[in-house]
């Protein structure tokens, strides 16, 4: 099955939010598991005020004995509404303590009877914290990058080393935040494939972080971006041959079978948030990188 890793190289451009939105928008008929593998710790359990019954730390403990892929489901929690999530570690001390177990855990995740969307957080030097083992099993690495000159310069600096480490793994960039540059200009500058930019959408992002409620979350710019991006990633809406579409998959409790993951975030007393159409005015930004192409961006980076 498909394993998509999401990361950043600097700052906090919205990796956890993007991973949650993508997993919640996964095509019907395909089981997905959201995994928090940020070495600095998981955010979703605290955001949802959930005391994890499992999570990565109990999975690591199990991996010390034996681990077959199906065992992963024993450590999976569910966000309200049904999205299966493997909650992250408490923090970097736990990440250091468990780093050596990552090859086994990454192997189990990649052999799971589900697609995996895995948030590996900000990439550390030498892809520390187990991220190297995850990326060795990944089908694609999606790097989120603020659409600012400095963030693009930092990413450009990191890309050659990253490409050498990844050896053939498909690397895709998602510009995030208030769009200062067009996807096309960023792609040209970095010479990488650029996915649809993640729009600024504080209301929907706050809803995904359980900080507020939003009516018709699936119609927000952020969730529509997630739909587009799942499609752009080539995740097939049709179940792969041999995978059960009917009935329960091992990770989904009986009462949550058929749950709409986006419904996970739908509140009881929703409020409307402002969703202006066409808020991402790409044409207005076209050309702002003119004169800041590879050469002048190089100057900016010096
Ligand atoms: N597309 C977005 N629009 C507006 N705010 C966002 C967006 N994505 C994330 N945020 C907000 O930015 C903060 C950091 O997001 P998070 O996903 O935790 O980033 P990261 O995982 O990269 O550290 C959170 O408060 C989140 O709600
Ligand atoms: Mg995060």
Predicted local confidence at residue 237, as pLDDT: 67
Q: How confident is the model at residue 262 (pLDDT cuts 50, 70, 90)?
A: low
Identify the residues whose C-beta falls under 6 Å from ligand 1: 8, 12-17, 43, 198, 200-202, 205-206, 209, 222
Q: How confident is the model at residue 203 (pLDDT cuts 50, 70, 90)?
A: very high
Predicted local confidence at residue 179, as pLDDT: 86
Mean pLDDT of 105-125: 97
pLDDT in tens, 125-174: 999 999 999 999 999 999 999 999 999 999 999 999 999 988 889 999 99
Q: Mutate which of 6, 17, 18, 142 to test ligand 1's pocket (most atoms within 8 Å of Cβ)? A: 17
For 168, the token pair is 């053939």
Mean pLDDT of 190-200: 96
Mean pLDDT of the chain: 83
Residue 300 pLDDT > 90, yes or no? Answer: no
- Are 152 and 145 contacting, i.e. CB atoms less than 8 angstroms apart? yes
Mean pLDDT of 267-287: 34
Predicted local confidence at residue 240, as pLDDT: 44
Residue 217 pLDDT > 60, yes or no? Answer: yes
User: Which is the closest atom of ligand 1 to the Cα of 225?
Assistant: 1
pLDDT in tens, 155-164: 999 999 999 9
Residue 85 pLDDT > 90, yes or no? Answer: yes
Mean pLDDT of 221-234: 97
Q: How confident is the model at residue 52 (pLDDT cuts 50, 70, 90)?
A: confident
Half-sphere exposure of 244 (CA within 13 A, CB side): 9
Residue 248 pLDDT > 50, yes or no? Answer: no
Residue 275 pLDDT > 60, yes or no? Answer: no
> Which position has the token pair 């050498």?
164
Q: Mutate which of 14, 38, 204 to test ligand 1's pocket (most atoms within 8 Å of Cβ)? A: 14
Q: Mutate which of 10, 12, 177 to test ligand 1's pocket (most atoms within 8 Å of Cβ)? A: 12
Q: How confident is the model at residue 79 (pLDDT cuts 50, 70, 90)?
A: very high
User: Which is the closest atom of ligand 1 to the Cα of 121?
Assistant: 21
Residue 266 pLDDT > 50, yes or no? Answer: no
40 CA → ligand 2 middle, Å: 9
For residue 221, the ligand closest to its alpha carbon is 1
For each of the domains in the chain, give its residue range(s) and CATH number, in order of start.
3-236+245-301 (3.40.50.300)
250 CA → ligand 1 middle, Å: 31
Dihedral angle computed from the Cα positions of residues 187, 191, 195 and 197, in that order, rounded to the nearest 10 degrees: -40
């Amino acid at each position: 099955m498909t394993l998509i890793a999401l990361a950043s190289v600097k700052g906090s451009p919205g990796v956890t939010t993007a991973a949650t939105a993508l997993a919640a928008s996964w095509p019907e008929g395909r089981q997905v598991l959201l995994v928090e593998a940020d070495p600095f710790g998981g955010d979703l359990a605290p955001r949802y005020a959930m005391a994890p019954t499992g999570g990565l730390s109990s999975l690591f403990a199990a991996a010390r004995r034996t681990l077959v892929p199906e065992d992963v489901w024993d450590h999976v929690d569910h966000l309200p509404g049904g999205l299966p999530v493997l909650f992250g570690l408490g923090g970097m001390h736990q990440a250091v303590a468990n780093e050596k177990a990552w090859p086994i855990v990454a192997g189990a995740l990649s052999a799971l009877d589900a697609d995996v969307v895995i948030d590996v957080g900000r990439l550390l030097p030498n892809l520390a914290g187990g991220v190297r083992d995850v990326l060795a099993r990944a089908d694609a690495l999606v790097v989120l990058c603020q659409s600012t000159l400095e963030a693009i310069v930092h990413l450009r600096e990191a890309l050659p080393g990253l490409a050498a480490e990844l050896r053939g793994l498909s690397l895709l960039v998602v510009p995030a935040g208030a769009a200062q540059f067009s996807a096309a200009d960023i792609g040209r500058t970095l010479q990488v494939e650029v996915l649809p930019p993640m729009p600024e959408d504080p209301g929907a992002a706050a809803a995904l972080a359980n900080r507020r409620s939003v009516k018709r979350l699936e119609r927000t710019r952020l969730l529509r971006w997630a739909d587009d991006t799942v499609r752009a990633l080539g995740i097939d809406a049709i179940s792969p041959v041999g995978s059960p579409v009917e009935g329960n998959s091992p990770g989904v409790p009986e009462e949550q079978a058929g749950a709409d993951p986006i419904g996970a975030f739908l509140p009881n007393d929703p409020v409307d948030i402002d969703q202006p159409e066409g808020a991402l005015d790409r044409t207005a930004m076209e050309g702002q990188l003119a004169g800041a192409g590879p050469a002048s961006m190089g100057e900016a980076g010096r």
